[in-house]
Structure 1
Amino acid sequence: MPVRLSTTSYVVLGMIALRGPSTPYDLKRAVGHSVGYFWHFPHAQLYSEPDRLTEAGLLDRVSEEDGRRRKTYSLTGDGRDALRAWLASPTDEHFQMRDIAELKLFFNEVGDPADVPRLADEQIAQHRARIAEYEQMVERFGDRPEAGPRMITVELGLEMEYAALRFWQALAKDDLDGLRAARRAGRLA
């Protein structure tokens, strides 16, 4: 029976395809500096998933004989084929956003109304910080041809951060009507 591949499976396969042979620790660091900005999952999975993918024949594993006994994984031909098939297949899943601040906003009617302005101020600061981080990435890597495809995800991240910043700023100013009007007029589309 074929193994069922999860999104985490494809993160592992994709990271090894980009980086070359990697230990789970290498994967954790690479994810933290790349897809971890927009795809959150328990990083403990980066330690268990490579063994599962090895059993499925999608990765090869080399273990150190002594010392720390690190395991280094590399992509097999079947692993590369599985990754390419996944990349080529359309995605019909709806965009997922797991935002704790949005969850708190949803349930706030049972909380203290004073929490909303504090939450908005907090979110404004966080989104500005993330925008600055993304802008630094664009400044550092945006002109490098080899960074091209990955920089597209940074651009998407920037757009999402700016949209979230506009929302929280409008909420902080109690001007959601102004935000709605700008969107209807096509100024935010």
Structure 2
Amino acid sequence: MASERLSPTSYVVLGTLGLRGPSTSYDLKRAVNRSIGYFWTFPHAALYSEPQRLEQMGLLTASSEQEGRRRRTYSITEEGLRELRAWLAAPTNEHFQLRDVAELKLFFNELGEPGNVTRLAREQIAAHTERIAVYEDMQRRYGDVRGVAPRMVTLRLGLEMEHAALRFWTALEKDPDAWLPPVAGDAAARG
């Protein structure tokens, strides 16, 4: 394999091709949107450029239609499968990443208008409630489907995270001031 570094997107492409079999970039985009895309977001344009890079590295092969749109269909190579398996077996020591715009807004809220925390909490309650409904529907529809059930554990983790976020935002909406740290001198004034 070339000495180029593989990114998480590289492994999304390799893993999706490993599960689905030969696919066009459009097929990859659709498959990711219906599966891991709920939990791992990235620019979908990468699903068009990354397969070409992985092909150049020898991790994928491609065949092109001779007529029509001339779409390229990618397949994982044995070397690509070995690389994917090595990555799956390697320890994951990275810290959990939560990239949530609402969390950023909450962090910088003191610079905003009064009432922003309550408004933000209400928006997040609605968003997390909606996402929980989507995940629970997926669980009902695909929970027993052969070949899909083993990957449902990822959906379970997503549901747990959504429920935790919903609990947080619901409590914050009920009493935004309870979450503020005490200001120096407040304890002495109260007691």
Alignment TM-score, normalising by the size of structure 2: 0.89
Larger radius of gyration: 2
Residues 1-47 of structure 1, C-alpha deviations (whole Å, 9 max, x = no match):
52211100000000001111011111111111111111011111110
Q: After superposition, give the CA deviation of every residue in 1:35-66 in whole Å (9 maximum; x if it has no partner).
A: 11110111111100001000100000001122
Q: Name the residue aligned to 1:131.
A: 132
Q: Distance in 2 between matches of 1:54 and 1:35?
A: 22
Q: Name the residue aligned to 1:186.
A: none
**Structure 1 stretches of 5 or more lacking a match?**
179-189
CA distance in 1, matches of 2:143, 2:99: 27
Contact 1:170 1:176 in 2 (8 A): no
User: Per-residue deviation at 1:96?
Assistant: 0.6
Give 1:83's aligned residue: 84
- Tell me, which stretches of 5 or more residues in structure 2 are unaligned? 180-191
Map of 1:27 onto structure 2: 28
Report the CA distance between 1:133 and its aligned residue: 0.7
Cα separation, 1, equivalents of 2:4 and 2:86: 15
Q: What per-residue deviation string (whole Å, max 9, x for no partner) do you get for residues 92-150 of structure 1?
A: 00001110011111111111121111111110001001001111111111133422221
CA distance in 2, matches of 1:22, 1:65: 16
Q: 1:11 to 1:96 in 2, by over 3 A?
A: same
* Aligned mates of 1:128, 1:65 — CA distance in 2: 47
> What amino acid is the match of 1:71?
R
- 2-structure distance, mates of 1:163, 1:140: 23
Q: Equivalences for 1:101-140 in 2 at 5 Å?
A: 101-140=102-141
Aligned-pair CA distance for 1:77: 0.2
1:23/1:176 Cα in 2 relative to 1: closer, same or farther (>3 Å)?
Answer: farther
Q: CA RMSD in A?
A: 1.4
Structure 1 residue aligned with 2:37: 36
| Identity within the alignment, % | 65
CA distance in 2, matches of 1:141, 1:51: 32
- The count of corresponding residues between Structure 1 and Structure 2 is 178
State the shift of 1:177 in Å: 5.5
Give the TM-score, by structure 1 length. 0.90
Stretches of 4+ aligned residues off by more than 6 angstroms:
none
